[in-house]
Amino acid sequence: MVSFFITLFRFAKVIYQGIRDDSEFRFLLIFIILLLTSSTLFYSNIENWAPIDSLYFSVMTMSTVGYGDFVPSTLISKIFTIIFTFLSIGAFVSFTAKMIGLTLGNRSSRIWKKERKAKKQSL
């Protein structure tokens, strides 16, 4: 359980640093939030799904999991889903790559600082 909270803290720290330091990260985060909000509202209103079901479907589509337990039933929903899929998969992959880059960058920066400090102490 402790490791879960450590992981959650690290995740929150990376998001905070990304928002603070990286304009591309901020754009991707805002774009993903906008995509998820609009798709949740769309499916709630057009498909009459509960908001949590709409958000669930949107996240499963965005992450390319697609369990198939929810399926758009109207023509407009199918067209919206096609457009949403193209936009959201690209944004999700870019955001995930950015998160990994920030995480690895932080890790390598910490390692570099430790090595530098050790080198200074040995001199």
Query: Tens of pLDDT along 71-83?
Result: 999 999 999 999 9
CA distance linking residue 99 with residue 97, whole number of Å: 5
Task: Give this prediction's pTM.
Answer: 0.79
Q: What are phi and psi of 70, to 5 degrees?
A: -120, 135
Confidence of residue 1 (pLDDT cuts 50, 70, 90): confident
Q: How many Å apart are CA 75 and CA 78, to the nearest integer? A: 5
Buried b (16+ CB within 10 A) or exposed e, 1-33: eeeeeeeeeeeeebeeebeeebeebeebbebbe
For residues 28 and 94, is the Cβ–Cβ distance under 8 A?
Answer: yes
Whole-number mean pLDDT of the chain? 89
Q: Which long-range contacts (CB under 8 A, 24 or more apart) does 30-36 make?
A: 31/91, 32/62, 32/88, 32/91, 32/92, 32/95, 35/62, 35/84, 35/87, 35/88, 35/91, 36/62
Confidence of residue 112 (pLDDT cuts 50, 70, 90): low
The fraction of the chain above a pLDDT of 90, given in percent, is 61
Of 6-15, 55-64, 106-115, give the lowest mean pLDDT range.
106-115
| pLDDT range class, residue 66, cuts 50, 70, 90 | confident
Pick the CATH number of 2-122 from 1.10.287.130, 1.10.1030.10, 1.10.287.70, 3.40.50.450: 1.10.287.70
pLDDT classification of 39: cutoffs 50, 70, 90? very high
